[in-house]
Amino acid sequence: MKLPYIIRKLLNGKINFSLLLKTPKNYLYSFTIPKDEKVKLESYNPKAAEIANQIINIVQNIDKTLITHFIGSASLGIRGQNDIDIFVESPTNLFEKYIPLFDKDFSSPQKIKTEFILWNFNQCGYDIELVLIDPKSHKFIDQMKGYNAIKNDPNLRQEYINLKNSLANSSLQEYTQKKMEFFNKAIGL
């Protein structure tokens, strides 16, 4: 009988116990990423900010009271995976109100969870991750804490750039796990 991949890794001593204990869901999820898939990092392109602003304008046209956050490498103006990450704050009791309104402009969501709704789509060659998220959720708080730490600390920002550059030819799984380690450190986990 063949043991599941994660169990084999655990038995072989190849598990990062720090990540497993601090961010178990994210860490375990990283093992669903194929080991042979390579990360594709591209130079920063200011066009990403233009596209992010277009999406934010659409969200603001849906409801001007929605608070948006353009986060990730593109918002920091650094090398990344040619993607755009946008958080939109909303209490969970308003999710049902916003889903059909967002669907009109962004199609159907890919994930509907208790604390967030995720839309993935491509616009002008950029992979967009638009997340309607409860601002009280740990996912939101931790992501914003990590992003703001990197954004506001030049030394941490440079360390992040160096990490990304060092992982340019790695597997997407390793890249994801190393970024998790970095973000955990940045937010003090």
Q: Domains (ranges, CATH) in the chain?
A: 42-136 (3.30.460.10)
What is the rounded distance in angstroms from the CA atom of residue 188 to the CA atom of residue 35? 28
Which residues, other chains included, contact 105 with Cβ-Cβ below 8 Å and sequence gap of 6+?
Answer: 58, 62
Q: Which two tokens stand for residue 131?
A: 């997340």
Per-residue pLDDT of the chain (189 residues; tens, 9 = 90+): 565 665 655 555 566 656 656 665 765 666 777 788 899 999 999 999 999 999 999 999 999 999 999 999 999 999 999 999 999 999 999 999 999 999 999 989 999 999 999 999 999 999 999 999 999 999 999 999 999 999 999 999 999 999 999 999 899 999 999 998 898 888 886
Residue-level pLDDT at 123: 95
Q: Which two tokens stand for residue 123?
A: 């616009």
Nearest CA-CA partner of 187 in 161, 148, 151: 148
Beta bridge partners of 89: 133
Q: CB under 8 Å, gap of 24 or more: what pairs does 13-22 form?
A: 16/177, 16/181, 18/181, 18/184, 19/177, 19/180, 19/181, 19/184, 22/184, 22/189
Phi then psi for 18, rounded to 5 degrees?
A: -60, -50
Residue-level pLDDT at 27: 59
What is the rounded distance in angstroms from the CA atom of residue 109 to the CA atom of residue 58? 16
- CB 2: neighbour CB atoms within 10 A? 6
